[in-house]
Amino acid sequence: MKPYNIPTWREAARRKLPQAIFDYIDGGAEDEVTMRANSSSFSDVRLRYRIHEDQAPIDLSTTLCGLPMTMPVMISPIGNVGMIHPSGDLAMAKIAAKLGLIMMLSGGASYSLEEVARGADPKPWYQLYPWIDRSFYGGLIERAEAECYRGLVLTVDTPGGANRERDIANAFTIPPRLTRRNAIEILRHPEWTMGVLRERRIVLRVFLEDDKTPSLRTFVREAKRTAGAMTRTLMRPTWDDIAWIRERWKGPFGVKGIVDPGDARRAADLGVDVILVSNHGGRQLDSAPALFEALPAVVDAVDGHAEVVLDGGVRRGTDVIKALCMGARAVSVGRPWVYGLGAAGPAGAEAVLENFRRELMIAMNLLGKTSVAGLDRSWLMPAGTPTSRLSPDFADTHS
């Protein structure tokens, strides 16, 4: 059966990929409490549908920092996506341009900044990790600026590696280490294996300006070197780093990985344009707040001084609507499009994004609202609360 929602795309990817590769994208940290809560917390809130005011067509379009999007769904950065499918980051940049969406190119991409910029118009945003020192990641900022990337996002929730026990159980490394168990999995998935060997994209090529396909020997050497650099040279970003980057980057600037309202307000005061409420998909600190739980306090703290994006946990069109009602400008999705990419290549990733559009159109029509621009907390109610006990403003009952 053809996949028709995110769970069925996930199952299709599980069948198509070696177990260690699937678990790398599917898993979280430790007991995966936060990862599960990111999605399940949406069920704590209900939507209050109403009678339509007019016969206007449904309008999903919105903007972020003045940049248009055909729907309020962004494409989250996913590192090492060349392990999932060799077309990876470049294909996603082209899909984003085609669908009128904003993509954030991962700081751990399998294509160089220059390769992606040449292949996509309009250009994506670039996700920056604080590598090594300012001279190094300052050079990456300069390259992104030279290639006319439309925005820059600094990730702040990854000051070091996390305890991802699925990866430990699978003896997973980057590049994948050949063990007896992994060798059997590789042999069971010849299509995936041939794609990896042919394109050789299991390398953090975002660092490299040379976009030639490396020889197999160079490929193995570079994969080991860049993977080691990734784990050894991540810095702990500070407020001084954020201010330093804000001063140098003249375009839209976001900070990804904020759940604390005080941090959100301080970032906005420093001139950050977009606060991405994120816990790295539950892949870093387990027992961190679920994102939908953290969202309203962050929205209230920035008080319109920055735009807010909910980055993670979204699996349904109704999840998108709930986030917008709670004050997010948009949501950003990661695992869903990776499931599609792993299951059916770029066509699968595009189908997943179009599935969000279809579900959004259906849900908005049933909600009684023709434009995402006017959604607010009055459309929400806590699960289990009789309507008669609700104030007109959901904020009063969900503070």
Catalytic positions are: 280
Helix or strand or coil: residue 398? coil
User: Strand 104-105 relative to strand 125-128: parallel, antiparallel, unpaired?
Assistant: parallel
DSSP bridge pairs for 331: 73, 310
> What is the rounded CA–CA span in Å between residue 366 and residue 364?
5
Tell me which residue of 380, 383, 364, 362 sits closest to 372, measured CA to CA: 364
For residue 154, the surrounding DSSP H or E stretch is strand 151-155
Q: Which neighbouring-strand residues pair with 128?
A: 154
- Strand, helix or coil at 268? helix
The reply to whether omega before 386 is within 30° of 0 (cis) is no
- Strand 67-69 relative to strand 307-311: parallel, antiparallel, unpaired? unpaired
CA distance linking residue 315 with residue 165, whole number of Å: 24
Tokens of 125: 């945003």
Tokens encoding 10: 């996930």
The H or E element containing residue 230 is helix 216-232
Neighbours of 111 (CB within 10 A): 28
Distance CA 328, CA 336 (A): 19
